[in-house]
Amino acid sequence: MLAGEHPREMISAETMFTFIKFVCEKKENAAKRLLESNKFRIIVNANPNGRIQVEKGDYCKRSNLNDVDINRNWDYFFGKEITLFEENSGKSAFSEIETTFIRDAIKEFNAKLFLTMHSGTLALFHPYAYLTEEGRKFYIKLLIELKIILKINIF
Protein backbone atom coordinates (compact mmCIF):
# COMPACT_ATOMS: atom_id res chain seq x y z
CA MET A 1 0.00 0.00 0.00
CA LEU A 2 1.32 3.36 -1.00
CA ALA A 3 0.44 6.94 -0.16
CA GLY A 4 1.95 10.34 -0.61
CA GLU A 5 3.13 10.15 -4.21
CA HIS A 6 1.53 13.54 -4.76
CA PRO A 7 2.59 15.60 -1.78
CA ARG A 8 -0.27 18.10 -2.02
CA GLU A 9 -2.69 15.24 -1.36
CA MET A 10 -1.80 15.26 2.31
CA ILE A 11 -4.93 13.40 3.34
CA SER A 12 -3.71 10.22 1.62
CA ALA A 13 -0.73 9.85 3.98
CA GLU A 14 -2.89 10.78 6.96
CA THR A 15 -5.48 8.21 5.93
CA MET A 16 -2.75 5.59 5.70
CA PHE A 17 -1.68 6.43 9.26
CA THR A 18 -5.30 5.99 10.33
CA PHE A 19 -5.41 2.60 8.63
CA ILE A 20 -2.17 1.52 10.36
CA LYS A 21 -3.47 2.69 13.73
CA PHE A 22 -6.72 0.81 13.19
CA VAL A 23 -4.98 -2.42 12.25
CA CYS A 24 -2.30 -2.26 14.93
CA GLU A 25 -4.67 -1.47 17.77
CA LYS A 26 -6.71 -4.59 16.90
CA LYS A 27 -9.75 -3.21 18.71
CA GLU A 28 -12.19 -4.49 16.12
CA ASN A 29 -12.58 -7.94 14.61
CA ALA A 30 -12.04 -6.55 11.11
CA ALA A 31 -8.54 -5.46 12.13
CA LYS A 32 -7.77 -8.83 13.64
CA ARG A 33 -8.98 -10.62 10.50
CA LEU A 34 -6.86 -8.38 8.29
CA LEU A 35 -3.70 -9.19 10.24
CA GLU A 36 -4.46 -12.89 10.53
CA SER A 37 -4.85 -13.43 6.82
CA ASN A 38 -2.65 -10.80 5.19
CA LYS A 39 0.78 -9.28 5.19
CA PHE A 40 1.17 -5.60 4.45
CA ARG A 41 3.99 -3.47 3.22
CA ILE A 42 3.04 0.14 3.60
CA ILE A 43 4.83 3.22 2.35
CA VAL A 44 3.09 6.09 4.07
CA ASN A 45 4.93 8.89 2.35
CA ALA A 46 6.34 8.08 -1.07
CA ASN A 47 7.55 11.61 -1.70
CA PRO A 48 8.99 12.99 1.55
CA ASN A 49 10.93 15.85 -0.06
CA GLY A 50 7.82 17.00 -1.91
CA ARG A 51 5.86 16.79 1.32
CA ILE A 52 8.38 19.07 3.02
CA GLN A 53 7.86 21.64 0.26
CA VAL A 54 4.09 21.48 0.75
CA GLU A 55 4.49 21.91 4.49
CA LYS A 56 6.67 24.96 3.80
CA GLY A 57 3.83 26.55 1.82
CA ASP A 58 4.08 25.19 -1.74
CA TYR A 59 0.56 23.82 -1.27
CA CYS A 60 -0.06 22.76 -4.88
CA LYS A 61 3.15 20.76 -5.35
CA ARG A 62 2.46 17.49 -7.15
CA SER A 63 6.02 16.48 -8.02
CA ASN A 64 9.30 15.59 -6.36
CA LEU A 65 12.30 17.92 -6.04
CA ASN A 66 13.18 17.25 -9.73
CA ASP A 67 9.67 18.43 -10.72
CA VAL A 68 8.82 14.90 -11.83
CA ASP A 69 5.40 13.47 -11.09
CA ILE A 70 6.50 10.16 -9.61
CA ASN A 71 3.07 8.69 -10.29
CA ARG A 72 3.87 9.15 -13.99
CA ASN A 73 7.43 7.79 -13.72
CA TRP A 74 6.49 4.11 -13.98
CA ASP A 75 7.19 1.97 -17.02
CA TYR A 76 3.52 1.42 -17.69
CA PHE A 77 2.18 4.05 -20.13
CA PHE A 78 5.36 6.04 -19.57
CA GLY A 79 5.08 9.44 -21.23
CA LYS A 80 1.60 8.75 -22.60
CA GLU A 81 -1.73 10.29 -21.78
CA ILE A 82 -0.11 13.31 -20.18
CA THR A 83 -2.79 15.94 -19.96
CA LEU A 84 -1.59 18.33 -17.30
CA PHE A 85 1.49 20.54 -17.48
CA GLU A 86 2.44 19.26 -14.06
CA GLU A 87 2.44 15.60 -15.11
CA ASN A 88 6.12 15.50 -16.04
CA SER A 89 7.02 11.81 -16.44
CA GLY A 90 10.75 12.37 -16.08
CA LYS A 91 13.65 11.46 -18.37
CA SER A 92 12.79 7.77 -18.44
CA ALA A 93 10.72 5.27 -16.54
CA PHE A 94 12.09 4.84 -13.03
CA SER A 95 14.44 7.79 -13.43
CA GLU A 96 13.48 8.99 -9.95
CA ILE A 97 14.79 7.54 -6.70
CA GLU A 98 11.30 7.49 -5.20
CA THR A 99 9.94 5.34 -8.01
CA THR A 100 12.84 2.90 -8.03
CA PHE A 101 12.55 2.51 -4.26
CA ILE A 102 8.85 1.72 -4.52
CA ARG A 103 9.38 -0.66 -7.47
CA ASP A 104 12.09 -2.55 -5.59
CA ALA A 105 10.00 -2.70 -2.42
CA ILE A 106 7.09 -4.20 -4.36
CA LYS A 107 9.32 -6.77 -6.07
CA GLU A 108 11.03 -7.77 -2.85
CA PHE A 109 7.70 -8.17 -1.07
CA ASN A 110 6.20 -10.15 -3.96
CA ALA A 111 2.96 -8.26 -3.57
CA LYS A 112 -0.28 -9.77 -4.84
CA LEU A 113 -2.08 -6.47 -4.67
CA PHE A 114 -0.86 -2.93 -4.99
CA LEU A 115 -2.99 -0.10 -3.70
CA THR A 116 -1.92 3.50 -4.16
CA MET A 117 -3.89 6.11 -2.32
CA HIS A 118 -4.62 9.52 -3.77
CA SER A 119 -7.09 12.25 -3.01
CA GLY A 120 -8.86 15.09 -4.70
CA THR A 121 -12.07 13.45 -5.78
CA LEU A 122 -14.75 11.36 -4.19
CA ALA A 123 -13.68 8.16 -5.85
CA LEU A 124 -11.64 5.02 -5.41
CA PHE A 125 -9.90 4.13 -8.65
CA HIS A 126 -8.47 0.76 -9.41
CA PRO A 127 -6.55 -0.79 -12.27
CA TYR A 128 -8.67 -1.58 -15.29
CA ALA A 129 -8.30 -5.29 -15.81
CA TYR A 130 -4.81 -6.28 -14.86
CA LEU A 131 -5.65 -8.44 -11.90
CA THR A 132 -5.37 -12.18 -11.79
CA GLU A 133 -8.47 -13.99 -10.56
CA GLU A 134 -6.76 -14.44 -7.20
CA GLY A 135 -5.90 -10.75 -7.12
CA ARG A 136 -9.45 -9.77 -8.04
CA LYS A 137 -10.90 -11.83 -5.17
CA PHE A 138 -8.40 -10.32 -2.74
CA TYR A 139 -9.21 -6.83 -4.04
CA ILE A 140 -12.95 -7.29 -3.48
CA LYS A 141 -12.28 -8.64 0.03
CA LEU A 142 -10.02 -5.70 0.79
CA LEU A 143 -12.61 -3.20 -0.46
CA ILE A 144 -15.21 -4.73 1.82
CA GLU A 145 -12.84 -4.47 4.78
CA LEU A 146 -11.98 -0.86 3.88
CA LYS A 147 -15.69 -0.07 3.69
CA ILE A 148 -16.09 -1.35 7.25
CA ILE A 149 -12.94 0.28 8.58
CA LEU A 150 -13.34 3.70 7.03
CA LYS A 151 -17.12 3.67 7.36
CA ILE A 152 -17.51 4.89 3.80
CA ASN A 153 -19.76 3.83 0.97
CA ILE A 154 -17.31 2.40 -1.57
CA PHE A 155 -19.86 0.48 -3.61
Chain residues in the site for Zn ion (CB under 5 A): 6, 9, 118
Tell the smallest beta-carbon distance from residue 62 to Zn ion (Å): 7
Tell the smallest beta-carbon distance from residue 147 to Zn ion (Å): 21
3-state secondary structure of 46: coil
- Alpha-carbon distance 133 to 112, whole Å? 11
Using the minimum distance from each CB to Zn ion, give the nearer residue, 118 or 126.
118
- Alpha-carbon distance 12 to 31, whole Å? 19
Using the minimum distance from each CB to Zn ion, give the nearer residue, 140 or 150.
150
Using the minimum distance from each CB to Zn ion, give the nearer residue, 58 or 134.
58
Taking a C-beta distance cutoff of 8 angstroms, is the pair 102, 4 a contact?
no
Tell the smallest beta-carbon distance from residue 46 to Zn ion (Å): 10
- Alpha-carbon distance 138 to 125, whole Å? 16
Taking a C-beta distance cutoff of 8 angstroms, is the pair 10, 60 a contact?
no
Tell the smallest beta-carbon distance from residue 71 to Zn ion (Å): 6
Using the minimum distance from each CB to Zn ion, give the nearer residue, 9 or 98.
9
